[in-house]
């Protein structure tokens, strides 16, 4: 297909490809090509008309909503549930440390119990100590 487009896109190649045809055949091809172009133009006009109708409907809905005092978030809030659109997601407060231990350098470290266990604490557990020994009281 790309070879066909390559030929009809360049006048010199098109002229060479159509050299064998007589004038009546060329007029027939011209008529068919004109029909294809006309159909494409009609389709483009129909799409533009449909898009314009949609824009008008949206504008009318916006006017009606504004007159009624309704915001889009009011509608979506009912669909989604809660105030998800009104208030942004809040970060939760950090958890207080739950465990206290000394690392390889002898520094006192803490761990909340969430996420990956620190290596120093894991090494202590591997050496036979219990996790409860490190609980902060």
First and final C-alpha spacing in the chain: 78
Banded model confidence at residue 20, pLDDT cuts 50, 70, 90: very high
Average per-residue pLDDT for the chain: 88
Q: Which residues contact 113 (CB under 8 A, 6 or more apart)?
A: 95, 98, 99
- Average confidence (pLDDT) over 85-105: 81
Selected from 4.10.430, 3.30.1380, 2.60.40, 1.10.275, the CATH number assigned to the domain covering 99-134 reads 4.10.430
Q: What is the pLDDT of residue 93?
A: 84
CB atoms within 10 A of CB 33: 11
Average pLDDT (20-26) is 94
Q: Is 0.75 topped by the overall pTM?
A: no
The CB-side HSE value for 1 (13 A sphere, CA atoms) comes to: 0
**pLDDT number for residue 83:** 53
pLDDT of 84 higher than 70? no
């Amino acid at each position: 297909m790309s070879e066909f487009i390559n030929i009809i896109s360049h006048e010199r190649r098109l002229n060479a490809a159509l050299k064998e045809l007589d004038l009546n055949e060329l007029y027939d091809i011209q008529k068919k090509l004109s029909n294809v172009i006309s159909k494409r133009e009609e389709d483009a006009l129909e799409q533009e008309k449909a898009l314009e109708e949609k824009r008008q409907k949206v504008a009318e809905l916006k006017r009606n909503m504004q007159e009624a005092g309704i915001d889009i978030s009011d509608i979506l809030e009912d669909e989604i549930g809660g105030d998800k659109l009104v208030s942004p997601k809040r970060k939760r407060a950090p958890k207080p440390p739950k465990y206290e231990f000394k690392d390889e350098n002898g520094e006192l470290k803490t761990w909340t119990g969430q996420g990956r266990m620190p290596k120093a604490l894991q090494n202590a557990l591997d050496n036979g100590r219990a996790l409860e020994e490190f609980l902060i009281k």
